[in-house]
Amino acid sequence: MDIKDKKRILITAALPYANGPLHIGHIAGAYLPADIYTRYLRLQGREAHFICGSDENGAPITFSALKENIDPQEVIDRNTARLIQGFAGLDIQFSHYGRTHTPHHAEICQEFFLRLHERGHVVKKSGEQVFCTVCGRFLPDRYVEGVCHYPDCLSPGARGDQCEKCGRPIDATRLGDPVCMVCSTLGRESRGHIEVRSTDHWFFRLDNFSSDLRGYLDRHPEWRESVRRFSYGLLDQGLRERSVTRDMEWGVPVPLPEGKGKVLYVWFDAPIGYITFSREYFAARGEPEGWRDFWQDDSNGLVHFIGKDNTVFHAVIFPGMLQAHGDYRLPDSVVANEFLNLEGDKISTSRDYAVWVNDYLATFPPDPLRYYLTAIAPESADADFSWRQFQQRNNGELADNLGNFIQRNLTFCLKYFAGQTPPPEEPTQAGKEVLHEIALARHDMAEALDDFRFKAALERLMRLSQRGNQYFAEEEPWRTRKTDMTSCARTMGVGIRLVEALSVLMAPFLPGSAGKLRNFLNLPALADGDWEAMPPPEAPVGTARQLNAAQVLFPKFDDLVIQPQIDKLRGS
C-alpha cells in the first residue's frame, strides 16, 4: 500500500547528536520538513506520531568531556536541554522525545544485538584498528582524522567513520596521514605515533543482505532520486561487513562475557533509538503494544526524515539490520535533504560558522525562519542561506504578500463592517472563481505534501495569497463602500473566506502565525481533520461574526537587525 493511502503513520527524524546546539542546517535537513508533514497529516484527519530523541552515546561525547575535563553525563544533559529548547522555540513539536543513554535503550539494543548474534548475522573477528602509542589506547573512529581513502575524493580532514566531503563510509585504518584527535586537542604531537593493531570485535554481515536491499530499493521508485542513486551506488560497489563494537566505556555494553570493555558502536545503537522511543511513547499512552502497529504491520506507515549524510545508515544499513532481526518491517520512505550552506560557504561548527537556532530566536520570531528554510529547502540540490535573502523574502513575500492580504481584509472589516465579517451576499462570478482557487490550492498542496515536496506546497500557498491581493485590487472595495455596500460586502465576504482558508493552509508551515490568525478571525484553534473540513467554494458565506483586533502578523526586518548577523558571521 502506498504511503499516501495509509491513515496511521509514524514519523521519525534523525536523532540530533547531543554534542552541541542546533543550527539551521540541522533544522532544514530533517526536523522542519518532518514537523510540517506531521502537522499536515493531522489536519487531514490522519493519525500521525512524530518520534525523535537525543543521540547521546559515541566518541564525540567523550571527546567533548575530555576537552572540558568534565563527566560525559554533564555534556549530554547540558546539550539535550539545549536541543529541546531550540526545537520548542521553532515550534517543532514531537509526540515523544527520548534519550539514548538510558538503561531502557541499552536493554533494547542488547536484545537486538543478541538476536542478530544468535542468527549468525553478527560474528566475532580479529580486525585492525587505529592505535595511538602516545595515548596508549585504541582510538574510536571519530578520534581519528586524515585524508579520505577514496581515490576520487582524497579530501583532508575526513573523520574515521565517514567522509563529510563525499559522504561515504570510511575505514579509519586506511586514512592517509592520520592524526589522533585526543593528542591534537591536548596539544600533543601524535603524527607518526599512529599504528594499526589487531583487536577482537563483532561485525554485522551487511553483505548478506545485498540482494534483499536492492529489492527494497526497487520497490520504491517514488523515493527522491538522490537517495536512490546514492544507495544503488553503495550496492554496486559491494557491501561489506561492518564493525558494530568499539573499545570504549561510554555507550551500550556488549552483552557477551568476552565483550568486557567494549560497547556497541553508535551507528548501531542510534537507529534502534527509533524503536526504543516508540515503545516509550506508546507505553506512556497506556498502549504498551501500540508500537508494534508501526514497526511490525505494513498496513500502517513508517517514514524517516534525515539529512544527506545519514542516507547510508537509513536507506541501507538500518534496513539491513531490520531484515537481519526478522521481526521488523522496513520504512515506507526515507526522505533525505541535501546540504544547506551559509552565505556561500559550508556550515562549520568548529569555526562557529553557523546560524545557531537559540541565537536566532533571541532576535527573531520562529515563523520567518520556518518560511525561509522551506522556501529554499535543499530537496534536490544543496541550498544556500543568505541573511539578505532572508530579509528580502520575509519583507517581500511574508509581509507584502501573505501578511498584506490578511491585514487589509481584517482591517477593512474592522473599520467598515463594525468589526464583523461581512453579511452574506452572493459573490460575483469573479468572486466565485477566487473561491474555487481555494479548492484548487488545497488539492495541489496536498498532492505536493504527500510527495514530500514541501517547497512546492509553500509556493502554491503563496500563489493563492497573491491571487487574493489581485482580487482585492481589482474589486476596489475602498471605492464601492462609498457607492454600493452590497458590492463591497460581496468582495469582502470572498476576501474573508480566503483569509479563513489561509489560516488552515498555512498552519503546517507557520503554526504560530496561523494560531494568531485564527484568534483574529475569532475561530477556534485548529483541530485534526480541519484540512478536509474547509467549506467548499459554493457554500454560503454565513452570518456575520465578530472579529478580534488584528495585529501585523509578519513584521519587516530592517538593516539594523540584519547587519549584525552578517557581521557576526564575518567575525567567525
The pLDDT, as a whole number, for residue 53 is: 98
DSSP state of 558: -
Does residue 214 fall inside a structural domain?
yes
CATH number of the domain encompassing residue 246: 2.170.220.10
Same domain, 156 and 43: no
**Mean of the pLDDT values across residues 165-176?**
87
Contacts of 230 (CB under 8 A, 6+ apart): 167, 311, 312, 315
The answer for 326, left when phi > 0, alpha when psi is -120 to 50, beta otherwise, is: left
pLDDT digits 0-9 by tens, 523-566: 999 999 999 887 776 666 567 899 999 999 999 999 999 999 99
pLDDT digits 0-9 by tens, 378-424: 999 999 999 999 999 999 999 999 999 999 999 999 999 999 999 88
SS3 label, residue 251: coil
The pLDDT, as a whole number, for residue 191 is: 66
The pLDDT, as a whole number, for residue 544 is: 83
**Mean of the pLDDT values across residues 221-240?**
96
Same domain, 410 and 479: yes
* Domain C-terminal end among 210, 234, 259: 259
* Residue 456 belongs to domain spanning: 398-533
Residue 66: pLDDT band (50, 70, 90) is: confident
Please tell me the least confidently modeled range out of 73-77, 140-144, 472-476, 564-568: 140-144
The pLDDT, as a whole number, for residue 192 is: 67
Same domain, 195 and 99: no
pLDDT digits 0-9 by tens, 424-451: 888 899 999 999 999 999 999 999 999 9
Does residue 568 fall inside a structural domain?
no
CATH number of the domain encompassing residue 472: 1.10.730.10
Cα–Cα–Cα angle for 507, 510, 514, rounded to 5 degrees: 55
The pLDDT, as a whole number, for residue 202 is: 96
Same domain, 255 and 290: no
The pLDDT, as a whole number, for residue 5 is: 93
Same domain, 505 and 420: yes
Nearest Cα to 144, choosing from 89, 91, 191, 77? Answer: 191
Same domain, 98 and 136: no
Please tell me the least confidently modeled range out of 147-161, 177-191, 383-397: 177-191
Does residue 542 fall inside a structural domain?
no
**Mean of the pLDDT values across residues 313-336?**
98
Count of domains observed in the chain: 3
Same domain, 485 and 423: yes
pLDDT digits 0-9 by tens, 190-225: 666 888 998 899 999 999 999 999 999 999 999 999
The pLDDT, as a whole number, for residue 426 is: 86
Same domain, 220 and 272: no
Please tell me the least confidently modeled range out of 9-13, 25-29, 53-57, 345-349: 345-349
Tell whether the model's pLDDT for residue 16 goes beyond 90: yes
Does residue 541 fall inside a structural domain?
no
The pLDDT, as a whole number, for residue 164 is: 79
**Mean of the pLDDT values across residues 323-331?**
97
Helix axes 210-218, 225-237, angle to 10 degrees: 160
| Distance (Å, whole) CA 99 – CA 53 | 5
Give the DSSP letter string of 352-386.
TBS-BHHHHHTTS-HHHHHHHHHHT--SSS-EEE-
Chain mean pLDDT for the chain: 94
Sign of CA dihedral 185, 139, 247, 115: positive
The pLDDT, as a whole number, for residue 181 is: 82
The pLDDT, as a whole number, for residue 141 is: 79
The pLDDT, as a whole number, for residue 540 is: 61
* Domain C-terminal end among 214, 241, 259: 259
What is the percent of the chain with per-residue pLDDT over 90, rounded to a whole number? 82
Residue type, 77: D
Same domain, 465 and 409: yes
Q: Where are the beta strands (DSSP E) in 274-330?
A: 301-307
Are the C-beta atoms of 398 and 465 separated by less than 8 Å? no
CATH number of the domain encompassing residue 358: 3.40.50.620
In DSSP terms, which residues pair with 123 in a beta bridge?
Answer: 203
Are the C-beta atoms of 61 and 533 separated by less than 8 Å? no
The pLDDT, as a whole number, for residue 38 is: 98
Same domain, 20 and 130: no
Same domain, 284 and 366: yes
The pLDDT, as a whole number, for residue 534 is: 78
